[in-house]
Amino acid sequence: MKQFILVLALVAMQFTVNSSDTPHIAEQYCQGDDPRQVVEFREGIREMNYDLMGEIDVWGGLELKIISWE
């Protein structure tokens, strides 16, 4: 029987939004290719930054907190 050890690191970063980045932020940092994963990652970014952006889409100059596994 083979055993596998998976080591992941939780990485937190600040991201300053440029106006050209707005539709693609989740796609840049999401580790998966599945569109559902990207949507979940986008919602995670929104939840983590809700105090800054509320229900509004992101805009240029906004400082977002992004957490991902690497």
CB 65 within 8 A of CB 12: yes
- 0.75 exceeded by the pTM? no
Closest CA to 62 of 26, 49, 42: 49
Domains of the chain by residue range: 21-69
3-class secondary structure for 13-31? EEEECCCCCCCCHHHHHCC
State the Cα–Cα distance between residues 35 and 17, nearest whole angstrom.
22
pLDDT of 23 higher than 70: no
Q: Which tokens sit at 15?
A: 């991201």
What percent helix, strand, coil does the chain show, rounded to 5?
35, 20, 45
Average pLDDT over residues 33-46: 87
